[in-house]
Structure 1
Amino acid sequence: MALGALLLSSQAQAETLQGALAKAYENNPTLTAARAGQRANDENVPIQKASGLPSVGVSADFQENLVLPGNSFFTPGRTFATGAQLSVPIYQGGAVRNAVRAAKYRVEAGQADLRATEASVFAQVVGAYMDVIRDQAIVQLNQKNVSVLRTNLQATSDRFEIGDLTRTDVAQSEARLALAEGDLRTAESNLIRSRESYIRLVGDAPTDLQPPPPLPNLPTTAEEAVAIALTTNPDIEAANQRLNASRADIGAAQATRAPRVSATVTGGYNNNLNSIPAGNTTSENTTTSTIAGVSMTLPIFQGGRASARVRQAQAQTSQAIENYVAVERDVIAQTRGTYAAWQANERVIAATEQAVSANALSLEGVRAENSVGTRSILDILNAEQEYLNTQVQLVSAQRNSYVAAFSLLAAMGKAEARDLGIEGGAFYDPEVNYRRVKGQIWDWADDPKPQQQATDTRAVPAADANAPEGPPTPSAQ
């Protein structure tokens, strides 16, 4: 079952996780900037190809001799000259071929980086989405706790007035209420911060966020997750393509020691504009010329520059090899770590759910025992605090489990736009732009003037701490 299908099962009338991801996919500036950066990377291929293509140039020159020597019988008063040259590279020692290969590998690496950026942004959106749901639930729990403690304080004060309780009981109730109101203010601040983070990532305010659906295709073991990650993780793919590019750079550097052969054709036209001195019969007013030739350049001594470039490219290849190993290690560690975090939080959820049920029963019992005089007001206050703490721990564990599960999918290379079934338009395909520009040889094929793609958030109202009633946060499974 695809994640997109599950996301679609959420209520359509409110904001769903799919809706938030779709907005981020279209409007997140990190993503739109990464796409622009990849388009710039695409241009390295035609840039390198141009070094092996013919070049044509024309020139024009006009000269006016303001003062002529007195004994000048052959110098014209003015001259107009124009010329054209065609140069065709024939052999460059493999420099162009290897440079183009390296550029292509780096395009593929950039496309993998773009996939990784998508997954990273989506993981941040999921985290922000779940943060809002969690913090909203915590605000609701603290609001309820404040309300309960106010009722307790009023009841305690009434019993104090009739001599049933002491001033100490009233003071304890007042202290707990004050602490609860402080915790509520902190929870409201956290909710505002989470909503602002959501606005930053998605570009819109979070409105009536619905519980996200269970995540599909989660691995059953850490070994299974690692095996998938080593095959599909975009960071590993990018590191591998950069390694291939570095190896091609060695060939390009070695080509600086090879001979270079090129053919040239030059044509010229000169017109003295009828300004030859009178009586000069040996110079013509106009002349033309055409020259064709082949030239070869063989480097013999370059002061060690060529070997330095080769050694530099070899060292950079060694660096790319080690970077590949480092990326692979990071992916393995990240995959195992997120799998462990997901499993741990699932167990925390199960244990905390039992604790919530037990504390609810305990609170009810303490209240009943207090009514018959076997429990003190402090016992009620402690039981209420324990009940609140376990409820907060539960919604936090639910948030952590879902985010860890999604991060696990991202580490496996399974949390990109093509995997999520995001609706709202066609996916951005970097290959389309690459195919468009890779063979472009026209010097005037500019793109339209750059325009802002991501939406700004200046018009989005500031987030508040309003926490309407809503359903609890689900776990990843």
Structure 2
Amino acid sequence: MNRATLLAAGLLAVSGAGVANAETLQDALSLAYRTNPSLSGQRALQRATNENSVQARTGWRPVVTAHVDSGYQQGPYSYDYRAGTIQTNSVEAAVTVTQPLYTGGRVANAVRAADARVQAGQQGLRLIEAQTFQTVILAYMDVLRDQDIVTVRHADLVTLERQVTETTSRFDLGAQVTRTDVAQAEAQRQQAVASLAAADAQLDASRADYRAAVGVSPGALVQPTALPGLPAVLDVALARADDTSPALQQSRLAATASQADVAAARSAYMPTIGAQGSFGYIGAAAPFRSHELDREVTGLVTLTQPLVTGGLVASQVRQAKDRNEADRQAVDTAARQAEQTVLTAWSQVHAGMISIHANEGQAAAAAAALKGYQLEYGYGLRSTLDVLIADENLRAAQVSLAESRHDTIVAEASLLAVTGGLDARALLPGTTIQDPQVAFNKVKHAGAAPWEGVIATLDRAGGR
């Protein structure tokens, strides 16, 4: 598969129209990358997933609360009800700061799990992007194929109408043409009418699919020669799939996250240490005199060690382990599927390239044969049936060529998708990339306290 000189030319061919008509494949992919609702929705879901990491990190951060209480009480002055009643009122205002100091690794492992799930989500976004591009490429190539087939069917009908006219004229003139020859020509012409109608209907359906995938109706599309970034040999394709397949990487990161969940569940056996401080004032609410309020200051350090949990923690650990085992099995499944997809797509691409070359030769030979038959028919050297068969052979070769071009590009898209090359970075040079890691970096440390690094280091050390 040595097509290095053709890789960029096929995709990056420039047509006369702009992006709005999505006439080149790159135009269509660029428009879908910016406007496809499924892809945009997945980006929003990924941003929501980023917040799980932020929320996990809050377990290392201080919580500051403020409260104001005001009360009134009326009751007996003493247990001697004859002594009368007394009325009291009070107001209290305080600010409380709670700072976790050590969580036994609970927060550290929760952060590990959340970060792994963020990365898994990024791979899931890559997968959706590749699937979106595959849908666009399929729709693009469907329209191209069906346009070519409509052209073939129309040319076939024109040829057969001419053949019917000529055959009928020869029959009327008493030449060596029978009524059977006329009927054969007319029958094949009627079949061409039906085939053209079916081709038109299929083209309309493909155009509708294109509009759904790209967002605009197709213009005058340009036939791509090849997609860029195809691996040169099968071993490279298999290695790339193992290293960069979005589905496989997503499965691996999901297993990493569930392994962190196991550690987080075990951390529930560990002690936790937290500090709390409070500062406020208390005094009479009425009459209110701020200078008469009493100041309250409290400080507290608490160590909590679970002793008996009724089997809850043990059950949570077992549950986390089983989920991790399921995730590890899913990694093996994804690896096998990636290998299968590579092998299948590689064979389809290789077969498609051979088919394109063969069908081009067949179509050229069939066109020459039909021209020769038509010429010889004029001299009475060929029968009507000979011309009809030659025409049918030409149209079959032309349709096969359109289908082989379509199938080859679609197979290339499948190969690039599984090897991690069907993304905007590879297919859309010069396009502003919406990198999910950039969005994650913006919120990752939002709300962090200056001393968070020290507490996180201690927590990670204790949670290993």
- TM-score using structure 2 length: 0.86
User: Per residue, is there more helix in 1 or in 2?
Assistant: 2
Does residue 272 (structure 1) correspond to residue 268 (structure 2)? The answer is no
Indicate the residue corresponding to 1:212 in structure 2: 224
Deviates more, 1:4-13 or 1:132-141: 4-13
Q: Report the equivalent of 1:357.
A: 364
**Alpha carbons of 1:183 and 1:64: their partners in 2 closer, same or farther (altered >3 Å)?**
farther
- Give the Cα separation in 1 of the matches to 2:299 and 2:154: 89
**Does residue 426 of structure 2 align to residue 414 of structure 1?**
no
Matched, 1:303 2:320: no
Matched residue type, 1:225: A
**Pairing partner for 2:26 from 12, 18, 26:** 18
How many Å apart are 1:206 and its aligned residue? 1.4
Amino acid at match of 2:350: Q
Question: In the aligned structure 2, how far is the partner of 1:322 from the partner of 1:364?
Answer: 62
Relative to 1, partners in 2 of residues 1:270 and 1:254: Cα closer, same or farther, differing over 3 Å?
Answer: same
1:248-276 superposed Cα distances (whole Å, 9 cap, x missing partner)? 11111011122222111234433433379
Give the counterpart of 1:118 among 113, 120, 129: 129
Q: What's the CA shift for 1:13? A: 3.9
Is contact 2:8-2:227 (8 Å) kept?
Answer: no
Counterparts of 1:32 and 1:272, CA distance in 2? 58
For 2:162 and 2:384, locate their aligned partners in 1 and report how far apart those are by CA, in whole Å: 13
Counterpart residue number, 2:66:
58
Could you tell me how far apart the structure 1 residues matched to 2:218 and 2:115 are? 41
Tell me the residue number matched to 1:158: 169
Q: Does 2:350 align with 1:339?
A: no
Quick check: 1:238 aligned with 2:250?
yes
* 1:64-463 to 2 correspondences below 5 Å: 73-76=85-88, 78-164=89-175, 165-274=177-286, 286-373=293-380, 375-424=382-431, 426-441=432-447
Q: Secondary structure of 2:307's match?
A: coil
Name the CA distance, whole Å, in 2 between partners of 1:442 and 1:125.
42
Closer, same or farther in 2 for the Cα pair 1:87/1:163, shift >3 Å?
A: same
One-letter code of the match for 1:358? Answer: A
Rate the CA distance shift 1:154–1:6 in 2: closer, same or farther, 3 A. closer
Q: Distance in 1 between matches of 2:412 and 2:285?
A: 82
Q: Bigger CA drift: 298-307 or 392-401?
A: 298-307
Structure 2 counterpart SS, 1:156:
helix
Residues 148-205 of structure 1: CA deviation (Å, up to 9, x unaligned): 1122222233233334444333332222222211111111111112222221222122
Displacement of 1:322 in angstroms is: 0.9
Distance 2:241 2:285 in 1: 75
**TM-score (normalizing by structure 1):** 0.84
SS of corresponding position for 1:137: helix
CA distance in 2, matches of 1:378, 1:37: 63
Q: What is the rounded CA distance, in whole Å, between the counterparts of 1:51 and 1:258 in structure 2?
A: 15
The structure-2 alpha-carbon separation of the partners of 1:242 and 1:231, relative to structure 1 and needing over 3 Å to count, comes to: same
Q: Counterparts of 2:304 and 2:283 in 1: how far apart (Å)?
A: 34
Does structure 2 retain, via aligned residues, the 8 Å contact 1:112–1:238?
A: yes
Q: Deviations for 1:319-378, whole angstroms, at most 9, x for unmatched residues? A: 111111111111111111100000111112222223223322332343344444454323
Q: How many residues align?
A: 433
Q: Which letter maps to 1:34?
A: Q
Structure 1, unaligned stretches of length 5 or more? 277-283, 444-477
Q: Structure 1 residues 69 and 275 mapped into 2: Cα distance closer, same or farther (>3 Å)? A: farther
Equivalent position SS for 1:115:
helix
Sort the Cα spacing of 1:5 and 1:144 in 2 relative to 1 into closer, same or farther, 3 A: closer
**Aligned-partner SS, 1:51:** helix
Cα distance in 2 between the residues matched to 1:84 and 1:141: 82
For residues 134 and 6 of structure 1, the distance between their equivalents in structure 2, rounded to whole angstroms, comes to 16
Of residues 368-377 and 45-54 in structure 1, the stretch that sits farther from structure 2 once superposed is 368-377
Question: What is the root-mean-square deviation in Å for CA atoms of aligned residues?
Answer: 2.6
Q: Deviation at 1:34?
A: 1.6
- The answer to whether the Cα contact below 8 Å between 2:279 and 2:296 also exists between their aligned partners in 1 is yes
| Farther off after superposition, 79-88 or 190-199 | 79-88
